[in-house]
Amino acid sequence: MGGSSFGKAFQITTFGESHGSGIGVVIDGCPSGVNLDMEYIQQQLTRRKPGQSSITTQRKENDEVKILSGALNNVTTGAPIMMWIGNLDQRSHDYDHIKSVFRPSHADFTYYKKYGIRDHRGGGRSSARETAARVAGGSVAQHICNKVGAKITAYVSSIGTLQTTKTYQELDLSTIDDNIVRCPDQALAATMIKAVEDARDDGNTIGGCVTCVIENSPIGLGEPVFDRLEADLAKAMLSINAVKGFEVGSGFAGSTMLGNQHNDQFQIDADENISTKTNYSGGIQGGISNGMPIYFKVAFKPTSTIMKQQDSIDAEGKNTTILGKGRHDPCVVPRAVPIVEAMAALVMADHILRNQTSNIDSIT
Amino acid sequence: MGGSSFGKAFQITTFGESHGSGIGVVIDGCPSGVNLDMEYIQQQLTRRKPGQSSITTQRKENDEVKILSGALNNVTTGAPIMMWIGNLDQRSHDYDHIKSVFRPSHADFTYYKKYGIRDHRGGGRSSARETAARVAGGSVAQHICNKVGAKITAYVSSIGTLQTTKTYQELDLSTIDDNIVRCPDQALAATMIKAVEDARDDGNTIGGCVTCVIENSPIGLGEPVFDRLEADLAKAMLSINAVKGFEVGSGFAGSTMLGNQHNDQFQIDADENISTKTNYSGGIQGGISNGMPIYFKVAFKPTSTIMKQQDSIDAEGKNTTILGKGRHDPCVVPRAVPIVEAMAALVMADHILRNQTSNIDSIT
Amino acid sequence: MGGSSFGKAFQITTFGESHGSGIGVVIDGCPSGVNLDMEYIQQQLTRRKPGQSSITTQRKENDEVKILSGALNNVTTGAPIMMWIGNLDQRSHDYDHIKSVFRPSHADFTYYKKYGIRDHRGGGRSSARETAARVAGGSVAQHICNKVGAKITAYVSSIGTLQTTKTYQELDLSTIDDNIVRCPDQALAATMIKAVEDARDDGNTIGGCVTCVIENSPIGLGEPVFDRLEADLAKAMLSINAVKGFEVGSGFAGSTMLGNQHNDQFQIDADENISTKTNYSGGIQGGISNGMPIYFKVAFKPTSTIMKQQDSIDAEGKNTTILGKGRHDPCVVPRAVPIVEAMAALVMADHILRNQTSNIDSIT
Amino acid sequence: MGGSSFGKAFQITTFGESHGSGIGVVIDGCPSGVNLDMEYIQQQLTRRKPGQSSITTQRKENDEVKILSGALNNVTTGAPIMMWIGNLDQRSHDYDHIKSVFRPSHADFTYYKKYGIRDHRGGGRSSARETAARVAGGSVAQHICNKVGAKITAYVSSIGTLQTTKTYQELDLSTIDDNIVRCPDQALAATMIKAVEDARDDGNTIGGCVTCVIENSPIGLGEPVFDRLEADLAKAMLSINAVKGFEVGSGFAGSTMLGNQHNDQFQIDADENISTKTNYSGGIQGGISNGMPIYFKVAFKPTSTIMKQQDSIDAEGKNTTILGKGRHDPCVVPRAVPIVEAMAALVMADHILRNQTSNIDSIT
């Protein structure tokens, strides 16, 4: 029983390997009549693609997306949408040196043990390249979010130990792409970039965090008790390569608080707008969105491919060493920004569709 | 499209409200021939039930579980297993004072907005009582884990700002239930209990964290790219009431590290046992278990029912205040230990079953 | 991976055995705000229950249904609905004589081989008693159909070789329950009843067919290419015990026709109502309802329990004979009428909910 | 919520339109290590492709299949398998005459009403071309069946009113492809071919039936109570374009029989092989395979595109007429043989995988 699909009402299935002919995604359940903004979709892929700046891998990919089914003149028809991203750069000889060695903290060992087959060419299916297909699918999902006015924005909030002290409200989220590390705390961004460059120059890698905010979410999204909105967001984020943690609203800090500090008291203003005075809940209560901004944070470990000698074992079970070669990505976090947005959009679109049938009054 | 089911191969569906006649769970996909240890199952429920100690709610429930289908002489038959836990204490008059007020940080407001109906009696479906059904289902799942030797252990690792500095390896996990706060750091446990008592006596609540360790997991569990083992664990944990965060292996701290620090180098010993020198991966690489211990941490916010006056609004949209009455649970974290174990067991059982068909060689 | 659930948006899960304490169903995904007509629900169960007439089994069951969750004052809350039907008549000693013999054409042999366990008490899970839970769930689904005006009516169209020559349009469907065999061809009904009595008196059983008509279906139900409306109806019907065949619209007879005979030509009348001149399509084209009446026919074999000596084998693999004892049902077809209606309602409700998200214009 | 996926453990998702760049299928859940017989896969597609004989449509397609992911040197890796069949012949101008008219008994009207969009080019998604993707997926599923020895064979058993009187046991199933109508009753085949030619020459179409036999099925396939083996086969078959009926074992004829005629009595021979003396059950009892041959019959209506003038309406709701142009397929039944085999293989593979976890003893 495979695990290549995500979502129930708005469902994507991804396929393809990093060094085959390409990768892709099939979207099933997208409503008809969606006017696809191809420029936006391509832009999100471009924000994810390797080689986009001096602090990402220099592997070259155009990541040009084509829609091969499910749309007529860029309007969705209700049929499954297949999006294809051809692979340009298939230099699999870069990987010959690891043909018989398991790279530390990569998926080599576990894939080999589970499937009995070693597709060493760039990690095959476990490569971060697969996330391009998610970005493609997520950028279509974004159109569903747009229909109800929900706005999803992610940015880098920490690189290594460098963490912005500002909340998302204190930051100008329109400036995220003004620097290559995608941190809207412009004062901190330069230092972050330097940290990534240092890691890169040392043949090393560095981790970091992405924060995501969803403004103007409809009230009522989330299906208790298991498909709570935050549960599906958590799964979405932990399904991304290199993610080690997720927190929503007050998160881990919330666990150190007392109830009277943490409770979000309701208020209503003269215009009858209901809000909460604080938002430790992160816009979700009882698993369902309450209309306040949803925000969460995702932790990325430093990626595993480093240009340093490490101990390992080979397929014959002998101790050996491995030394990275070729191109490596010193920090995946800036490129993870559109991936986080895409996965969030997929969760939101799925729950927007699911919520259409919550009450009998709206059934026609 | 409801959200009351969890798992794909080993699937549970829970039902029931806190103040109806009872709650229950249906398990579909449990293999036949499982000899159910009824004493263990009841014991897990007893570890979760309210009123078990001076630092939990004094609401009285026996939480006695009955198996009403799917087993013959306590051996599973392959048919769906229905487990029923009758409600004993249905004092819904305790809730009359909140009939028309939305309790801050509860699910009252969002349920009302989503479903158009207010079942004010104890939170109805959103009550933590629902988790008893999960513990019932999870304790059956535990039998599948036992078949392959996997051992799941959870404990309280922090209460408020009081956090054990010891790793799970440094703690004696056999002593978890030796104190009522379920922290195996015995030196810290008394202080933690005091912190909960202080919150209780002040009509307040306090948060905390649960750490969970899965030892001796088979290699190969997890289905990339979306049903990665850590993604399903994250969803499982975030689906529990009051949870605000999840981290696996190095977690958020991992995001502050460099690649050469974080990578888990492989080694093989004289007996041909493969292991990693460190375990920042938390036993999962590329979404698949690698045989090392799986460990993760779950953050619980302080629960929302407090005995203090708070601002709120009523169903008519007027500003008002609310003052808690009746029984309240000053700290849900000790009772969450068996819930975390149950949800972890459900994920593991699901993936153990799913992994049976990974390779054509084992198909008969 | 169990098979106890049916439906995707409106989903039921049934559980329970014929000789345990009872059987039940959990409905997940039912919209909130549905005002349940408890009298109708009980009536459908009563139409299915054994002992209702001289031509059904004399096994006594009240089949009294209770709603144990998901409704408040008989209005659905959006939470999972659990319905319970206690078993009254658990005379399992009736089955002692078959403890070690596999009854011909029953599920004894296959359940034993699949699950390794023999629950001989009345067939356990494979008993037709399980269908009571479907009728309970289906009668809730019927409320969703009512919301959009769809009307589902089933009746007996043949018993053995006695088959009505009238189409559903030529019959007065309000008279179905005027006779105990539930055939609205009143002239034929008496002969049918006699045929069942003859089989009964001979310790034998007899088969027959149920025809079902769905009038006033909304246009647009069905999700190509696999969840076509007729495909889901076929699955629903073939999942009922003793069903051997399904045909929709022209059915098997349609396979003998030419295209120019079979095509349903469109027409529009002065009031702009679109219809087809004929309806060989059975109200479904391309897997989607077209607004014309949906009709289909379901074939039931004679049930397997007969009061005659038959050859068989025992659990030790020896040839033996078996002679039926106790009560038997000479003809299940009249009791199958509400079961067919229930399964049809489940399919329709599921597709009504799924169709809410077909077009982006209606997403809010 | 889309309907483009089929199967739970071995799951396919198809995509693509008849007049886009191509069609395809993603298989998720296929075990690793399957050595794909590319020649067999292509052969099954060639048996389905148009233009293969004088009695099928003359539309030209190579139907050449490429595997674009999930296999390394034609061995499955456990990753999702994407198979692509490019469209060669995209003469959409053939369809301009129907741009604004709904073709009788086609999917034009219902797709338009459901999705609000008219993709008139050859039926778009509702075209029979989509079944090529099923044949691709099904031919991979066939490899799972091969692993357990199950053999699936379909053939044409009737064309119009011409029906073979021989059972599958009386026919030489190795001769199915010896004639272009794929009927192993060689004496009847020539007459059948003549009947199709007559329809073709008259600009008409003709229906027929396909019979399918599954020999040597493992005992134990099927998941009661809803995912019974015959229920999933019924859904699979009714999901094929133009199918109006399905019967398994005794089928509709079984509904005319008495219990003592219909029951399949067990016997055991000297070699301890268990069998039934008759096989009216069609190899399935209680929803689970019993080891006897599984056989079923599928009814296909005459296809809707005819070269004759018919009444219809246009998109503006005016009465009009339509006259078919271009190529048409006088009889789809011979080409349906590999489609029926493919859908049967998908059901069997799914249930073979699901059955691996039926009993705890085999869980490792």
Q: Which two tokens stand for residue D360?
A: 């705890």
Identify which of D79, D356, D361 has the shortest CB distance to residue B33: D361
Give the H or E element holding residue B284. Answer: strand B284-285
User: What is the SS3 assignment for C114?
Assistant: helix
Terminal-to-terminal C-alpha distance of chain C: 35
Please give, rounded to a whole number of angstroms, the shortest distance from the CA of A334 to a CA of chain C: 32
B140 contacts B27 by C-beta, under 8 angstroms: yes
Nearest-angstrom CA–CA distance, D254 and C303: 11
Beta-strand relationship, A162-163 and B162-163: unpaired
The predicted structure's pLDDT at residue D55: 86
Please give the full DSSP string across D157-203, using - where no structure is assigned: EEETTEE--S-GGGS-GGGGGGSTT--S-HHHHHHHHHHHHHHHHTT
Phi-psi region at B360: left, alpha or beta (left = phi > 0; alpha = psi -120 to 50): alpha
Q: Which of the pair, B315 or D97, is modelled with greater confidence?
A: B315
Average pLDDT, chain B: 94
D299 contacts C255 by C-beta, under 8 angstroms: yes
CA A349: distance to chain centroid? Answer: 15
The predicted structure's pLDDT at residue C96: 66
Identify which of A274, A299, A302 has the shortest CB distance to residue B252: A299
Cis peptide bond upstream of B196, omega within 30 = no
Altogether, the residues listed in chain D come to a count of 364
Q: What angle do CA B138, B142, B145 make, to 5 degrees?
A: 135
- Domain map of chain A by residue range? 5-357
Q: Which two tokens stand for residue D75?
A: 């061995």
Nearest CA in chain C to A218: C364
Q: Closest Cα to residue C294, out of C145, C135, C132, C134?
A: C145
Residue with tokens 């938002």: A279
The pLDDT tens digits for C108-132 are: 999 999 999 877 665 689 998 999 9
The predicted structure's pLDDT at residue C288: 98
**Cβ-Cβ contacts under 8 Å, A79 against chain C:** 224
Nearest-angstrom CA–CA distance, A32 and A144: 11
Identify which of D9, D218, D363 has the shortest CB distance to residue B147: D363
C2 contacts B82 by C-beta, under 8 angstroms: no
Q: Closest Cα to residue D56, out of D224, D241, D303, D294?
A: D303
Q: Which two tokens stand for residue C187?
A: 């002239």
Nearest-angstrom CA–CA distance, B211 and B196: 18
**Identity of the amino acid at A262:** H
The predicted structure's pLDDT at residue A40: 98
Q: Closest Cα to residue C304, out of D274, D292, D261, D228?
A: D261
B272 has a pLDDT exceeding 90: no
B363/D356 touch (CB, cutoff 8 Å), yes or no: yes
Mean predicted confidence (pLDDT) in A205-222: 98
User: What is the SS3 assignment for A321?
Assistant: strand
Q: What is the pTM of this model?
A: 0.97
ipTM over cut 0.95: yes
C148/A364 touch (CB, cutoff 8 Å), yes or no: yes
Strand partners, B215: B151
Q: In sequence order, which residues have a C-beta less than 8 Å from that of residue B84 and are 6 or more positions away?
A: B22, B23, B24, B65, B66, B67, B68
User: What is the SS3 assignment for D135?
Assistant: helix
- Test mutation, C11, C114, C197, chain D, max D CBs within 10 A: C114
* Chains in contact with A via at least 3 Cβ–Cβ pairs below 8 Å: B, C, D
**Cβ-Cβ contacts under 8 Å, B36 against chain C:** none
Strand partners, B6: B12
Average pLDDT, chain C: 94
Give the H or E element holding residue C246. Answer: strand C243-248
Longest dimension (CA), chain D: 73
DSSP conformation class of A359: B
Q: What is the pLDDT along chain C (364 residues), one digit of tens a residue?
A: 999 999 999 999 999 998 889 999 999 999 999 999 999 999 999 999 988 888 887 777 789 999 999 999 999 999 999 999 999 866 555 566 667 789 999 999 999 999 998 776 656 899 989 999 999 999 999 999 999 999 999 999 999 999 999 999 999 999 999 999 999 999 999 999 999 999 999 999 999 999 999 999 999 999 999 999 999 999 999 999 999 999 999 999 999 999 999 999 999 988 889 999 999 999 999 999 999 999 999 999 999 999 999 999 988 888 899 987 777 899 999 999 999 999 999 999 999 999 999 999 999 9
Strand partners, D137: none
DSSP conformation class of D44: H
D105/C280 touch (CB, cutoff 8 Å), yes or no: yes
The predicted structure's pLDDT at residue D66: 97
Rg for chain B, CA atoms, rounded:
21
B119 has a pLDDT exceeding 80: no
A93 has a pLDDT exceeding 60: no
**Cβ-Cβ contacts under 8 Å, B16 against chain C:** 68-69, 82
D287 contacts C114 by C-beta, under 8 angstroms: no
Nearest CA in chain C to D109: C290
Tally Cβ neighbours within 10 Å of residue D253.
16
Nearest-angstrom CA–CA distance, D235 and C4: 16
* CATH of region A5-357: 3.60.150.10
**Cβ-Cβ contacts under 8 Å, A76 against chain C:** 360
Q: Which two tokens stand for residue D87?
A: 């469209």
Cis peptide bond upstream of B225, omega within 30 = yes
The predicted structure's pLDDT at residue C186: 96
Nearest-angstrom CA–CA distance, B340 and B27: 18
**Cβ-Cβ contacts under 8 Å, A116 against chain D:** 32-33
Please give, rounded to a whole number of angstroms, the shortest distance from the CA of A169 to a CA of chain C: 27
B245/A223 touch (CB, cutoff 8 Å), yes or no: no
A78/D22 touch (CB, cutoff 8 Å), yes or no: no
Which residues does B contribute to its contact with D (CB < 8 Å)? 1, 9, 29, 31-34, 76, 78-79, 143-144, 147-148, 218, 224, 352-353, 356-364
The pLDDT tens digits for B40-83 are: 999 999 999 988 888 887 777 789 999 999 999 999 999 999 99
Q: Which two tokens stand for residue A30?
A: 């997208």
C298 contacts C239 by C-beta, under 8 angstroms: no
How many Cβ pairs closer than 8 A exist between chain C and D? Answer: 392
Identify which of A32, A361, A362 has the shortest CB distance to residue C360: A32
Q: Which two tokens stand for residue C123?
A: 């067939």
A172 has a pLDDT exceeding 80: yes
The pLDDT tens digits for B157-202 are: 999 999 999 999 999 999 999 999 999 999 999 999 999 999 999 9
Nearest CA in chain B to D143: B360
Please give, rounded to a whole number of angstroms, the shortest distance from the CA of D35 to a CA of chain B: 10
Regions of chain D where pLDDT drops below 70: 89-98, 120-123
CA D107: distance to chain centroid? Answer: 19
A69/D26 touch (CB, cutoff 8 Å), yes or no: no
Q: How many CA atoms lie within 13 A of D283 on its CB side?
A: 24
A296 has a pLDDT exceeding 60: yes
At residue A278, φ and ψ (nearest 5 deg) are -120, 175
B125 contacts B119 by C-beta, under 8 angstroms: yes
B262/A301 touch (CB, cutoff 8 Å), yes or no: yes
The pLDDT tens digits for C38-89 are: 999 999 999 999 888 888 877 777 899 999 999 999 999 999 999 999 998 6
Nearest-angstrom CA–CA distance, D14 and D31: 19
Show the DSSP H helices in chain B as ranges.
38-48, 108-115, 131-148, 186-201, 229-238, 251-254, 259-262, 333-354
B92 has a pLDDT exceeding 80: no
**Cβ-Cβ contacts under 8 Å, B5 against chain C:** 5, 11, 13, 28
Q: In sequence order, which residues have a C-beta less than 8 Å from that of residue B323 and are 6 or more positions away?
A: B97, B307, B308, B309, B310
